[in-house]
Structure 1
Amino acid sequence: MSEKPSDDEPSASELPDDAWEQFLRDAERNSQPSVPKEPSARARMVTERLRQQEARGESPPGWRTGPAWQEMNGRAARRRKLWAVLGVPLAVAVALVALKPSLLPGDPFGTDESPAAASPLPDETAAPSAAPGASDPETPTLDKPFAGSPALRWADGEAGIVLPEAEAVGPVPKDRVEQALKLTKKLLVGANLDPKAVRGARPEAALSVLDPKQPGVLDGLGTALRSPSRKHDPVTLFSRFDPDEVRPVGDVIKTRGRMTFKKGTQGGVAVRADYTFVYPVVRADGPTEVTRTIVRRVLDVELADPARYQVTQGRLLLMEYDQEIGNSSCDVHDGYLHPEFPSSGPTGAEPSGPTTDPYDRSKDIDHDQDECGTVSRT
């Protein structure tokens, strides 16, 4: 015989088991739930079942012992302890990043404007519109010989001589154009980047590219290398340093420039190369003060047609060449470049020309400027 609940009490059949279980758990924790004043037969039945489960050790989680909430509370306590341990160093790190965001890897806020953090410059494919911007006023060292120089972002050595895509020029086929470009690069490397030649040795690799049938060229260069003078000075084509005076810092020479080509006047293809090389050096006698010499070279060469002209197959005609040298003593014509160091005065003639920026590749070389000037930076 079932019991009929009073009008103000919910029917036991309408309350699921989990509701009554929650009520009993609340009762165990001395809570004050809103429940019927007298449990129904359903409630008594659920209570009896829970007591039997407890006697058999089968109490559900949360019944009397409450392992679930105890474990959860323990985990929460451990998290609070962990955050307490991490809190101080984390606060310090946040403060440091707030003061200097560039400490974050990758500089996500773009705050580090130093050249060292900047990516390498893309290849130069046309004349720049202006000189490079000002660099941080850092002093070059043995470990960082290009510190404070725009060349820090330039390519290293041969990597800076990127050949343009070859294509046919009039009757000159693509493969001949490609050959001319490669020979021009070989000339530039042999004259300005070959380690032995830079240290004062004879630039054999560069000389081997030039046509021996071109009147006066190789003879004139040979004279300049043997007996340098104002009229025949090898530094007008070759970058050479006196090994008794200075030695290079490391193996890297920074390079930047471009190469173009067009139809030549000797039945072949004409190539123009315009490149700047930056050489960090120290004195040979031991002091570690670093300085840099900057050399810009513009060469016009041609791979002529041997079927029409008296030329050597696979050799270049040297049509014209010019140079602009920054930070080398004036009016010294002994076949070498002579870098000047900040700690010592000029070793050559007193500069009388204008001040120029040796890194400015936006202008042509001034052919009419014979006076020896000064540079605005090295």
Structure 2
Amino acid sequence: MSSVPPPDRSDGEPAPSISDEQLEAFLREAADGGGGSAPKEPSARARMVARRLREEAEPEPWRAPQGSPRGDGRGRRRLVGAVVGVVVLAALAVVAVRPSLVLDRLPGGDDASATPTLAAESARPTGTPGEAAGAERATREHPFRGSPAERWAEGADAIEVPAAKPLSGMSKDDVAFALRRTKELLVAANLDPAVLRGERPDEALDVLDPKQPELLPKLRRSLSDPDADHDPLRLFTRFDPAETRLAGDVVKVRGRMTLAAGEPGVVKVDADYTFVYPLVRAGDADGPVARTIIRRVLTLTLNDPAKWNVTEGKLLVEKYFSEYGNTDCDVYDGYLHPGFPDDDGPGGARPTGPPTDPYDRSRPLTGSGPGGCGQVTRT
């Protein structure tokens, strides 16, 4: 009787002559060094079973993620991806607050070729700052474009306090206090958003000594009832909120603060700073940007209360001078009134003085000049 050949398998291999269990038992014995002859088995199937046994015998990688028992790296890439995701989200949060931090550095960005911020001023400049690159007009997104102030530092951080040292019989701590209070006055009088929109500069007034004759009463009168003789703009920067508002929240500042010894028990702090304010009309969503530039030069003193009739912790004002660029002439309502590029003409009296560059910090500002209202060569 003829034998019947085993049925063909779909993969082309003949049907096994032994079961999988028998084959696996033999292979385990062979791996353990046991004897016994191998049963007849097609080589492809033997390789497949042997490979499965090796995989079961090898230990799983330590904490290999599920779905990657061989530790092929996909789990690590997912972990790195999660960390990168956190970093990217943090970066996106910064960009949402201030997109220029990234956009200004992209190739082709508006400020991709902008020069870095100027180093702090350490001495009086020897000349007028050059023209800004290009002649582009300021925009609401770039309110300092076309101005030397584009490279200046911003806000209170631009007012750098020099190192304190014992001076004129006053301790290092006393001198540091005088420097710190001078900066507080400058910030409160020229950078406080509430003061800029016309509110009372109470923090600035609090720096000053009430024992200084006439000063505080005169300043308070100027705030409540301004006129030509009582003008708060001589010490404080104020804009009419019904007329103008800041374009953004950045004011550019450049200048320096220095120390000098006065009489015994007197420390002098000299401050010379220029502030540049970008402005738009109140209630105008699409109008142009104007810039008003104010330079202030003042000397404050801290006097030893053991030697002088002063209030401890308060400063005296020895002198203060101001120069304004781009505001109406002969208007004494306690506010600055900037001109805009699309104005028909000045709102106040016509300027009669000589042309002046408001960015020129090389000129001394002493209050002994011709005075009057001149023309600015640029804003």
Per the normalisation by structure 1, the TM-score is 0.69
Deviation per CA, 1:193-245: give whole Å up to 9, x if none: 00000110001110010001111111000000000000000000000000011
Partner in structure 1 of residue 241 of structure 2: 243
For 1:358, the aligned partner's letter is P
CA separation in 2, counterparts of 1:250 and 1:275?
21
For 1:370, the aligned partner's letter is G
For 2:322, the aligned partner's letter is Q
**2:278 equivalent among 277, 280, 301:** 280
For 2:316, the aligned partner's letter is L
Partner in structure 2 of residue 374 of structure 1: 375
Partner in structure 1 of residue 38 of structure 2: none
| SS at structure 2 position matched to 1:325 | strand
Partner in structure 1 of residue 42 of structure 2: none
Contact 1:116 1:152 in 2 (8 A): no
CA separation in 2, counterparts of 1:267 and 1:335?
36
Extract unaligned runs of 5+ from structure 2. Answer: 1-104
The question of 1:329 aligning with 2:325 is answered no
CA separation in 1, counterparts of 2:157 and 2:314?
23
The question of 1:134 aligning with 2:131 is answered yes
Cα distance, 1:310 vs structure 2: 1.3
Partner in structure 2 of residue 223 of structure 1: 221
CA separation in 2, counterparts of 1:369 and 1:185?
30
Partner in structure 1 of residue 202 of structure 2: 204
Partner in structure 2 of residue 170 of structure 1: 168
CA separation in 1, counterparts of 2:208 and 2:238?
19
Cα distance, 1:342 vs structure 2: 1.5
CA separation in 1, counterparts of 2:188 and 2:323?
18
Partner in structure 2 of residue 300 of structure 1: 299
CA separation in 2, counterparts of 1:342 and 1:130?
27
Contact 2:168 2:265 in 1 (8 A): no
CA separation in 2, counterparts of 1:315 and 1:162?
20
Contact 1:233 1:335 in 2 (8 A): yes
| SS at structure 1 position matched to 2:125 | coil
For 2:126, the aligned partner's letter is S
Partner in structure 2 of residue 264 of structure 1: 262
Extract unaligned runs of 5+ from structure 1. Answer: 1-104
Task: Work out which of the two has the higher radius of gyration on C-alpha atoms and give 1 or 2.
Answer: 1
Deviation per CA, 1:250-294: give whole Å up to 9, x if none: 110001100011112372201100000000001113142100000
**Moved >4 Å (runs of 4+):** none
For 1:364, the aligned partner's letter is P
Partner in structure 1 of residue 118 of structure 2: 121
CA separation in 2, counterparts of 1:207 and 1:118?
38
CA separation in 1, counterparts of 2:250 and 2:225?
29
**Count of residue correspondences:** 270
CA separation in 2, counterparts of 1:173 and 1:335?
39
Cα distance, 1:183 vs structure 2: 0.4
CA separation in 1, counterparts of 2:155 and 2:113?
18
CA separation in 2, counterparts of 1:264 and 1:327?
36
CA separation in 2, counterparts of 1:271 and 1:369?
26
Partner in structure 2 of residue 311 of structure 1: 310
| SS at structure 2 position matched to 1:320 | strand
- Counterpart mapping for 1:94-113 below 5 A: none
CA separation in 2, counterparts of 1:290 and 1:265?
47
Contact 1:139 1:148 in 2 (8 A): yes
